[in-house]
Amino acid sequence: MPTVSVIIPTYNREQFVTKAIESVLNQSFRDREIIVVDDGSTDKTSQNLERYQDKIRYIYQKNAGASAARNTGVKASKGEWLAFLDSDDEWTAEYLSKQIQKTGEVPRVCMQTSDCLFIGLDGQTKSYFEINESLAEFKGQDYLYFREPFRFIIKHGPWQVGSTIIRREAMDKAGLFDTSLPVSHDLDLMARLALHGAFGMIREVLVNIYRREENIECLTQQAKNDPLQHREKDEIMYEKLNRIKNLKRSERKALNEVMSANRRAIGNLLMKNGQVKEARECYRRAFRMDPSIRSFGKYILSLPRIASIKQAGVICP
């Protein structure tokens, strides 16, 4: 039985998937299996992978989405740890070695993530821990450990499952990727995992996450092109997590705060579009989720009389 099962879902990435596989084959840590799940590719993916037939397990399935492909890989895997790598991303050579080594140095973790470098279409780079505002939490340390991580996971989403290893035992308890969700599959899974054990964070950048020119628009680009729709889809995920019955009071409070902020952001986007009545309802809902001064202030400023005074310039924005 291998220590790590590496699962690579792919769809029509004949020019990128081999680089992802090579980054796994080049790992200094060798006790692993590689499972490539082809999610119904119609390009030359299968032909390009023939040269790896003695190094990987190749599974072909009808197109069902990345989460379904990941789940197929999990079901076929045997490792104690599960590691996921998107077919257009790459690990540094020490990624698995440093991940596994660290799990042996700290109390039992159910998942552990490293920082990664987000490389945009314009070539600009940024640490993912900067993007989700978790970097400041290190305060000069190289490693963070959370015994009860749900609040932290929710507060600092999104997360990258491609830079995270997951203990199989925890995955069995938390469940697989939710294929019914339109977006935020990574955050949903990691939030559920956070209820079944500790969470570790390695400050070092060990993964390169690429955004490339492709025929299919990636979720990051979709969020930029239609932020309102993306926020609405995120709420579906948050509402699902809020239905978990065994959340502690502090965990539910943290979730409500995030849900309120998301609903308030939706209100801001609606207000920008001139949909004042709809925005006002969003601010009202945000306040009911979490009675904050910010939501209350947004609601008050959206009222017809106040809004007209503000527009006249009597109230500063």
202 phi and psi angles, rounded to 5 deg:
-95, 125
* Residue 158 phi, psi (nearest 5): -85, 165
Q: What is the mean pLDDT of residues 274-288?
A: 95
Closest C-alpha to 179, from 24, 27, 22, 39: 39
Structure tokens at 2: 């291998």
The Cα–Cα gap between 178 and 18 comes to: 27
Weakest-pLDDT range from 139-148, 161-170, 186-195, 295-304: 295-304
- Once rounded to an integer, what is the mean pLDDT over residues 209-230? 71
The arithmetic mean of pLDDT across residues 42-68, rounded, is 97
The tokens describing 130, both together, are 């900067």
Quote the strand ranges of the chain, DSSP E: 4-10, 32-39, 57-61, 81-84, 90-91, 109-119, 125-127, 143-146, 164-167, 198-210
Can the peptide bond before residue 149 be classed as cis, meaning omega within 30 degrees of 0?
no
- Token readout for 17 is 């998937």
Average pLDDT, the chain: 93
Instruction: Give yes or no for a contact between 279 and 267, defined as CB atoms under 8 angstroms apart.
Output: yes
Q: How confident is the model at residue 214 (pLDDT cuts 50, 70, 90)?
A: low
Confidence of residue 122 (pLDDT cuts 50, 70, 90): confident
Q: Which amino acid is at 85?
A: L
Q: What's the pLDDT tens digit per position in 73-93?
A: 999 999 999 999 999 999 999
Question: Burial of 191 by CB count in 10 Å (0-12 exposed, 13-18 middle, 19+ buried)?
Answer: buried
* All residues at 6 or more sequence positions from 183 whose CB lies less than 8 Å from its CB, including other chains: 219, 222, 223, 230, 233, 234, 237
Ordered by where they begin, the domains of the chain are 4-214 (3.90.550.10), 226-311 (1.25.40)
The Cα–Cα gap between 93 and 8 comes to: 17
Cβ-based neighbours of 278, under 8 Å, separated by 6 or more? 267, 270
SS3 172: helix
Q: Which residue has the higher pLDDT, 102 or 124?
A: 102
pLDDT tens figures, 155-166: 999 999 999 999
Task: Read off φ and ψ for residue 198, nearest 5 degrees.
Answer: -80, 165
| Confidence band of 256 (pLDDT split at 50, 70, 90) | very high
Q: Are 279 and 248 in contact (CB under 8 A)?
A: no
Residue 316 predicted with pLDDT over 90 = no
C-alpha span between 17 and 21 (Å, rounded): 6
